[in-house]
Chain A
Amino acid sequence: MGHTWIAARRAMPMSIKQNFTDDALPDFRNLGVVARILIGVNALAFAAVLAAVPGWGAALERFLLVAARLEPALAVTLVVLYALSPALARLPYWQGGTAVVTLTLAVSGTLHVASAPAGDAVAGLARTLALAAIAALLLLAYLRLLTRAYSPALAEARLQALQSRIRPHFLFNSLNAVLSLIRRDPRRAERALEDLADLFRVLMQDNRSFVALGDEISLLERYASLEQLRLGERLKVVWELAAAPRDAMLPPMILQPLLENAIYHGVEPGAGEGRVVVRIERRGARVFARIENPYLEEHAHRAGNRMALANIRERLQLFFDVEARIDTRVAGERYVVEIAMPYRPAKA
């Protein structure tokens, strides 16, 4: 999870790989980074109070007093860092770090002076500045350590291991279906082989770069047409893509395994028609992708679903840290998987 804000910051069309070359400042617009700073600074303040004041009750009271002065400074600092994040990111690491500490000092100094009683502006200013500097340096060090812990090699290894694999079951059944077409409907057979080639090209690609949602959608359609060939009337895929932001960037092969699961678990084991609904839409700054299929209780034991989900969850986390999530639920007779992730349009 550590390095993800870096991937997120320099963003999309690039590979995660390229973001590892050097130390880099954290992305102050990333929710995970902001959360870590908030929690980190408050934890430091609480630890300091606990060390200074004996007794939990007294310490808590004192912490509340401290917090009244700490939180405004913290909030303003975060807002400033948020605003300047792109500019800071362009600086070399040490200059950027110095800039962050300087900013923190400026904000906390200004607030200290502004909120102090009249005529007493300088009392305690040095102490405030020292505490702010220590907090800023400790957090920078912590975030840098976190980045290092997820070193390029380690993150690459994890992504490599997570390279999504299509079920062999699907490959061989599809080839078999194509074979059955060659004599009866050679043109359809040609199309099917082209679809299969496209699908495998993507599967065998380096999966460390973001891709456009539009490309993922056409991949889904190719995959679905192959499944259709095999399953015929038993498979009905409903596409609800009118509000899908096709320029949104997302990790590759996040949606296809979900559609594959929906068909493998929800349609194939059933004898009748199985309806799968694919709905992708943008709501504000978030992209939602939902895939639902019939829930066949007696076949819930069919293995493999949880593994695929864990794989996708981990890849989402590697790319988006805490800003993406994936949920599954059974709603009546339907099984629903939903992904929510930040909307990051491709740069024009």
Chain B
Amino acid sequence: MLRVFIADDEAPARERLKELLADIAAELPTEVVGEAANGLDAVAQLPASRAQVVLLDIEMPGMRGLEVARHLAGLELAPAVVFVTAHDRHAVEAFELNALDYLLKPVRAERLAAALNRASAGGPPAREQLARAAAQAREYLSVTERNRIHLVPVRDVVYLRAELKYVTLRTRAGEHLIEESLVALEREFAERFVRVHRNCLVARAAVRGFERAAEGGDEPHWNVVLEGVPERLPVSRRQWAEVRLLAKEG
């Protein structure tokens, strides 16, 4: 039995998928292990369902399907993903380009069977594949703890600092480690964050000011003062020219 999770904001669409799954049961036995009516619920409920495949509508309130898939990809037992859309030319092009499985609504039984077979054989999509297909920056970053996905709204992030293999994500409330590259984060969130140092991005909106620092044997340099967190972060000489403009804007 293939364990299937269905995420779609329209109840009739979920019903239809269940009918079709029942229709193809002889050929491909499946079990619906969970359903969600919006993206956030899908992220919250899918891990515990231990679904092997998720049928994911791409236009959902709360969080769009593509972002849902990106958070799910961090799971230890990440499900295979089949995107479902009524009509989104842009998304379909991106799926094609990045070899992601998708179905068009209304879905046909034989296409559904083929997509489920292919997806469950191919395994979960790679994070990079999903990132390339995404047209928009994510609204959340996710921290995966065993079989739970913890979402941190990007707008709450004060700074991101690279440390060896991980990136530390700092909010006013605390910090988390995420397994992403600082360069990719900088590219995705260029509007929101600015690089102050080789290893650090800070939220533009959180910058309160700068102060001179030259303790110990350090060369004199500037530190950035951030809203909501006590620590001061050094600004590298390379980045100073760009970063100082923020002080003027503020």
Residues of A at the B interface (CB closer than 8 Å) are 167-169, 171-173, 175-177, 179-181, 183-184, 229-232, 234, 268-271
Contacts and interface: CB of A to CB of B under 8 A. Distances in A.
B123 interface: no
B61 A181 contact: no
Contact of B10 (A175, A181, A230, A271): A230
A169 B10 contact: no
Contacts of B104: 172
19 contacts: A169-B59, A169-B86, A169-B87, A171-B87, A172-B87, A172-B104, A173-B86, A176-B13, A176-B105, A176-B106, A177-B12, A180-B16, A229-B12, A232-B10, A268-B9, A268-B61, A271-B40, A271-B61, A271-B62
Given A179-B106, A180-B19, A268 B59 contact: yes
Nearest to B136: A301
A301 to B, nearest CB: 9
Contacts of A268: 9, 59, 61
Contacts of A172: 86-87, 104-106
B61 A173 contact: no
Among B19, B106, B107, find the residue whose CB has the most chain A CB atoms closer than 10 A. B106
Nearest to B10: A230
Contacts of A179: 16, 106
Give the interface SS of chain B, mostly helix, strand, loop or mixed: loop
Interface string B82-126: 000011100000000000000011110000000000000000000
Give the interface SS of chain A, mostly helix, strand, loop or mixed: helix
Given A176-B106, A179-B106, A268-B61, A168 B13 contact: no
Interface in B1-21: 9-13, 15-16, 19
Given A172-B104, A270-B61, 12 more contacts: A172-B105, A173-B13, A175-B105, A175-B106, A176-B86, A177-B12, A179-B16, A179-B106, A183-B19, A232-B12, A271-B40, A271-B61
B52 interface: no
Interface of B: 9-13, 15-16, 19, 37-38, 40, 59, 61-62, 86-88, 104-107
Nearest to B64: A269
Contacts of A234: 9
A126 B120 CA distance: 95
In the A-B complex, the 3 residue pairs with the smallest Cβ-Cβ separation, listed nearest first, are A172-B86, A180-B16, A180-B12
A183 B104 CA distance: 21
B12 A230 contact: yes
Contacts of B10: 173, 176-177, 230-232
A232 B38 CA distance: 14
Nearest to B86: A172
A58 B19 CA distance: 86
Contact of A168 (B37, B61, B86): B86
Contact of A176 (B16, B37, B88): B16
A268 B86 CA distance: 14
Given A173-B105, A176-B105, A268-B59, A184 B87 contact: no
Contacts of A171: 87
A270 B39 CA distance: 11
A191 to B, nearest CB: 14
Contacts of B40: 271
B62 A232 contact: no
Nearest to A177: B12
Nearest to A229: B12
Contacts of B62: 271
A157 to B, nearest CB: 26
Given A172-B105, A172-B106, A177 B61 contact: no
A268 B40 CA distance: 15
A176 B61 contact: no
A180 B15 contact: yes
B176 to A, nearest CB: 23
A167 B19 CA distance: 26
Nearest to B13: A176
A183 B19 CA distance: 9
B92 to A, nearest CB: 12
B38 A271 contact: yes
Nearest to A192: B12
Contacts of A230: 10, 12-13
